[in-house]
Amino acid sequence: MNILIVYAHPNPDSFNHAILERVQAALIDKGYQVRVRDLYAMGFDPVLSGNDLVDINVGKLADDVAVEQDMLRWATGLLFIYPVWWFDRPAILKGWFDRVLTRGFAFDYSEDGAVGLLTQQKAAVIMSTGGTDFELEGQDIEALLAHPVTEGTFKFCGIQATAHKVLMGVPVAGNAGRRQMLDETEAFVCEFF
């Protein structure tokens, strides 16, 4: 498989970066080709402007969006790694979705409604939270955090095989807890892909 990892965390010393390094190495060990799009390191512009919308409607793409769409064309599997901020993705990743997953590329409309155009076989997300299971108890956290991306964006764009892993309470997990999270995340990725 060709796996595209889209990574969104501004700190290269973060636990999210440790996740990135671990799963990237595991996927390469499985013999997969892996490319990483580190949105913060790239300085990706997440703002979809009014001019962008006009250009998209006439089939014109910004150069950075064209590059990202080429990356998606290359990939047979997608993996997104990010922290949960305010019960959602970081703005830079939401902007990546807004700018890159355009009509005519990721989806279109027919008389019967939306039609997904992405051809990736699988897509998964790995999310880390500061909140613990106890703090977030009773909030249906899986649906709240994962479904907008996996059941919403991915399936809307045509990807049916989706999965997610939520790593809860990372700041209070301690070193042993974070090592266990890395082990579990590697196993999750290797099993899914």
Predicted pLDDT at 146: 86
Q: What is the mean pLDDT of residues 47-71?
A: 95
Q: Give the pLDDT score at 138.
A: 61
Q: Which two tokens stand for residue 112?
A: 């019967």
**What local confidence, expressed as pLDDT, does residue 135 receive?**
58
pLDDT value of residue 99: 97
Ordered by start, the domain boundaries in the chain are 2-192
- Where residue 147 falls among pLDDT bands split at 50, 70, 90? confident
pLDDT of 129 above 80? yes
Closest to 37 measured CA to CA, from 66, 8, 61: 8
- Which pTM value belongs to this model? 0.94
Average pLDDT on 141-157 reads 88
Residue 55 has pLDDT above 80, yes or no: yes
3-state SS, the chain, equals CEEEEEECCCCCCCHHHHHHHHHHHHHHHCCCEEEEEEHHHHCCCCCCCHHHHHHHHCCCCCHHHHHHHHHHHHCCEEEEEEECECCECCHHHHHHHHHHCCECCCEEEECCEEEECCCCCEEEEEEECCCCCCCCCCCCHHHHHHHHHHHHHHHHCCCCEEEEEEECCHHHCHHHHHHHHHHHHHHHHHHHC
Return phi, psi of residue 35, to 5°.
-125, 140
pLDDT tens track for 74-101: 999 999 999 999 989 999 999 999 999 9
Average pLDDT score, the chain: 94
Asked whether residue 137 carries a pLDDT value surpassing 90, the answer given is: no
**Structure tokens belonging to residue 133:** 């299971």
Is the per-residue pLDDT at 30 higher than 80? yes
Residue 1: how many other CB atoms lie within 10 Å: 15
Residue with tokens 């042993």: 176
- CATH fold of 2-192 reads Rossmann fold (3.40.50)
Range 44-50 average pLDDT: 96
